[in-house]
Amino acid sequence: MSQSEEITQQDPESVQTDSADVVTDHNHKLYIETVGCQMNMLDSELVVADLRKRGYELTQNVKEAETVLFNTCSVREHAEHKIYSSLGRLRYGARKNPKKVIGVMGCMAQKDQKLIFQKAPQVDFVVGTGQLAQVAELIDKARVNHSQNRRSRELAVGLGRKDGKREEITNSFQSYDPLRDPEMRPSPYQAFVRIMIGCDKFCSYCVVPSTRGPEQSRGPREILSEVKVLADQGVKEVTLLGQTVNSYKHTQDGKLYRLSDLLYLIHDVEGIDRIKFVTSYPKDMTNDLLEAIRDLPKATRYLHVPLQHGCDDVLKYMKRGYTVEDYRDMMHRINEILPGCSVSSDFIVGHPGETEESHQKSLESIREFRFKNSFIFKYSERPGTKAAERFEDDIPEEIKKRRNNEMLDLQNEISEADNAEFIGRQVEVLVEGPSKSALKASDNSADSLAEQLMGRSKCDRIVVFDGNPRLAGSLADVEVIDVTPTTLIGNIITREYQHQSGASLPILQ
């Protein structure tokens, strides 16, 4: 292997490019493809913001971009295939334009590491979830190498979960939370805020504990100052992110802070109207958290707490650490402390060992718990996980598909019936801006549905209604007149209307 092809594992601090060496002779067009969860969306947003500060300009056209990044996901095989095919399509372009720098970041980078260079030799660097601060330097380094007719193949990743002492592994995953530029955010009124990284739950089917490393909570002081900056920039709603966000724990100045304490701190930030958090873990849904949501008007009445399966045997194979009865107890506490709070779930169908009878139990759990919505995934065997080691992926694809559709149909039926309860009621909506159909229509015609707005109710239901686009970022009261399984459709109620008519519509949150 020649020196230029040598693959080096970078220590988090060690990527250094002599600034005198930076090559500026390229077009600064940046293309980024992001797949996966909200954590990935946030990572991409932050990396792009950093690069834009350095003069890069986003483009949707991969062909014209001389810097191409892929932010990847490994949770299901399908997400990885998608990235490998995109990389395959770039092979010719990279040969044709030697200025093109290609980087792969995120979960697949951490999981596949050097394999990525083998499968896609045009890739210049592979950077894991815990090394995102290095992206700009890795781009510069690749460019220098290209200018000297060398390929650089830099690998900057965290340690495997068995590759050292806990502290060493933890240190090899650094949370990436630089301060953000207001113009760089996708929405001026909403922002994700990372409160923790990693996961220590080790569900048997899941790659996240190895791709995102050990669970680490950020300090409350850092989180609070980030939220204050966001509020000063006009953000109205923050969504706190963590793989098991309600496991948040951090000791600062001798005091232990949990998620409930964080909610209290953030609630006091002037300008913030709404606080959400995802994703919660059923066993960590403690009463102090539910009571904080009850007592804090800015906290949304919405919890995303994946059940994953309705059969205890499968939950045991999954190593989720709870039974359906435990989940039921949690739902009782939620309903008691937070009446009207909506709950959504994730489910996996076709997990090894799932019988027709156990699948029926998952359907039954959707009927019993009446989730606002459920994300349903077909089991995907992930190399390196306990499930892949222990079980054969024995459910045929057609059965997985059929079970998936049955769950979706049932969930839709329940969502529509529960949404129908809102007809005739008033909901408070944080207006996000034009609805998707308004945006689509405004592409085609100047005076279209540009005034159909969308936002979310306090229980996280999507609400569409006609209104002045200037309402974006404010709270509006909307009377619901119709529904679909995913959306409440309504009319905005102005203060004048309420005064003159004296109408007292029942308020649902």
Contact footprint for ligand SAM (CB under 6 A) = 37, 75-76, 205-206, 208, 243-244, 279, 281, 306, 308, 346, 348, 377, 379-380, 382
Single-letter code of the amino acid located at 299: A
* 459 marked among binding-site residues: no
Least spacing, CB of residue 244 vs ligand SF4, in Å? 5
Instruction: Name which of ligand SF4, ligand SAM, none residue 382 binds, using a CB cut-off of 5 to 8 Å depending on partner kind.
Output: ligand SAM
Over the window 44 to 83, marking each residue x when it contacts ligand SF4 by CB under 6 A and - when it does not, the resulting string is ----------------------------------------
Single-letter code of the amino acid located at 359: H
2 by Cβ neighbours in 10 Å (0-12 / 13-18 / 19+) ranks as exposed
Interface with ligand SF4 (CB under 6 A), residue from 152, 210, 244, 452: 244
* 37 marked among binding-site residues: yes
33 beta partners: 70
* Ranges within 174-213 binding ligand SF4 (CB under 6 A): 199, 201-203, 206, 208-209
* Pick 40 or 457: Cβ nearer ligand SAM: 40
Single-letter code of the amino acid located at 448: S
Q: Return the ∠ at Cα 176 (arms to 38 and 81), rounded to 5°.
A: 50
Least spacing, CB of residue 424 vs ligand SF4, in Å? 38
* Residue 122 in tokens: 């045009």
Q: How far is CA 333 from CA 259, 427, 509, in A?
A: 17, 24, 19
Instruction: Name which of ligand SF4, ligand SAM, none residue 377 binds, using a CB cut-off of 5 to 8 Å depending on partner kind.
Output: ligand SAM
Sign of the four-CA dihedral 25, 29, 35, 36? positive
Q: How far is CA 298 from CA 154, 241, 264, 465, in A?
A: 45, 17, 10, 23
380 part of the interface to ligand SF4, by CB under 6 A: no
* 311 marked among binding-site residues: no
- HSE-CB at 393 with a 13 A cutoff on CA atoms is 17
* 107 marked among binding-site residues: yes
* Pick 213 or 473: Cβ nearer ligand SF4: 213
Length of the chain: 509
Cα 458 to chain centroid distance, Å, stands at 19
Least spacing, CB of residue 351 vs ligand SAM, in Å? 8
The residues, any chain, with a CB within 8 Å of residue 417's CB and separated by 6 or more, are none
Instruction: Name which of ligand SF4, ligand SAM, none residue 37 binds, using a CB cut-off of 5 to 8 Å depending on partner kind.
Output: ligand SAM
The residues, any chain, with a CB within 8 Å of residue 380's CB and separated by 6 or more, are 75, 76, 77, 78
Least spacing, CB of residue 241 vs ligand SF4, in Å? 12
Binding interface with ligand SF4 (CB under 6 A): 199, 201-203, 206, 208-209, 243-244, 281
The annotation places the binding site for [4Fe-4S] cluster at 37, 73, 107, 199, 203, 206
